[in-house]
Structure 1
C-alpha cells in the first residue's frame, strides 16, 4: 500500500505585521502512522511557525508608517528588537502547550495592530500626543510591552506573569463544564492621557456551567471604566440573558455587591435586560491580559452554581 503523502504550506500572519511563508514541506508518511502522530506532526509545524514569527521588524520590508518610524530611530529600533527577544523567550517557556502559544501570538498581534493604528494617526483621539510627545510615547509603549511580557509571576518567579495568569485561568475554568458559549472576546487599544497613549484591554468574558452562562463585560467610554454583569441560560441552543446589572449601558443599575451603603437603594438586578439571544461563537478560552479579581471569582461561583441566581438573592428590580 502506498504511504500517505502530505504537502504542507503554512502561512501565518507575523506579530510584526508581515506574512511569513513559514514552511513548505513534503513528507512521505507510512500508512501505519496513527492519527495521533499526524496531529503531533501538525502541532510541531504550528509551533515552529509561531517561533519564526517572533523576530523584530525587518527594516528592509517596513510596510507602514509606524514601522518606518521605528526603523528610522536607533532607540526605537533597539527597543523593538528587545521586545522581539522577550516575546521569543516567553514563547519558548510556553513549551508545547498550543493554547498558551496561540494566546501569546494573538496577544502580540493585537498589540501591534493597535500600535500601528494609533501611532500612525492619533488625531481622532481627544488629548492624544503629537510630534515629539508622540515619538516619546511610542518608545515608552514598546518598553512597557516588553516589561509586561517579561514580568515574573509573584507566586512563581521562574514563570512569566502572563503564563502564570493563563494557567490560573485554566485552573479556574476546570471547576465548570464549559461549553459553546464560554470564552474571551477581547478588544485592546491605546488610550490618551497625560500626553501619552497607554495600552488597555477590555473584554466580554463568558463562563459556562451546563446551561448557565455568566458574563463579565468591561468597557471604556468618555474617559471612564465600566463593568457589567450578565446572567444567561442556554435555551434551545441560544444564549438568553435573564438578568443584568452594572455601570455599563446594558447594566441598568449598579450591582448590589459592588456599591457602598449610600448607593444600595439604587442597586439591584434588572430581570428584563432586553438583550437579543445569541448563537454560539468560537472564542479563545484563555487570555492573560484580562485578569479576574477576587470579587469577580466570588460572583462567578454564585452565579454558575445556582440556577436560581439572582432571584434567590432578593436584590432584584
Structure 2
C-alpha cells in the first residue's frame, strides 16, 4: 500500500466540537487512505465552546509529521488580531509546503499568522466584516463555501468543513472515492450554491411550493435542453416566481446552477470513464465538445483532456 496521507487536526482553546470531528469522520471514511490525529499546542486537554473539554493524545510535535493540517473553528470571543505565542510556536513547526485548511474562525488564525497574505480566502459570512477590517489585504469572498488556493484552503462555517474535506478527498483520489465517502457520511457529495443562501434573509413561507423537486428532475435530465420556462413549468410556477424562489433556496440563478451541475457531472465522467469529450458533452447537455471546453475552462482553467490526465494519470497518493 502507498503512502497514507496524515491529517493533523489542531484543536485550539474554545474549539467547536462538531467541526473538530469533521476531519476524522470524512477522511476516516476514505478506505484507509488517510490517518487522522488530533493535537493541541501543548498536548493537554482543551476546553470546547460547550460545557466540556476534550483530551488528545498528541502535542504540537504531530504537526511536523502532517501532510495536511486542519484548524477547526473556536469561540468567536477568543479571536485576536495576533496569533497567541503558543499557537504561533505550534504553527512554526509545520513543514513548508504542507497543505493547511481552516474551517470558519480558523481563517483568522491563518490570516494573523500571515499565511493568507496575497491569497483569496473565506470565512463565515457573519464574520466577514470583522475579517475584512482586520485583514484588508486579503481577498475575502464571503459568498462561497470554501476557497482552494492550492496548499492553503479556507472554508465557511460549520458544515462547510464537510464540503472542503470532501473536496480534498475528490482532489486527492477522484470522484468515485469521494462519492463513497459522502454516502458513508450520509451527506451530499457537493452542495449547491454558496453562503448567500444562508445569510439572514426572509425565509419563504413553509406553505409555498419549493424548487427541490424540479432541481432533482433537472439533475436526471441534464442531457436534455433545459430552459427556464421548462423548469418553471415543471415546478408549476410563473417564470418570475420560479426565479425568485430558486434564488432564495439555492443562492444563485437557475441558469448558473445548471451550468454548475453540468460541469460537475462532466468532471465526474472525465475522471471515471474513457468517453470521448464530445460524448461527455452530450451526456451532460452541453451539446458539443467545444461548449464543454469553454465551460470547463471558465470554471477550473483547464481543458477536458488536461483535467482527465490530472485525475487519471496521477498516482493515488498524489496531491
TM-score range, shorter chain: under 0.3
Larger helix proportion of the pair: 2
Structure with larger Rg: 1
TM-score, scaled relative to structure 2: 0.24
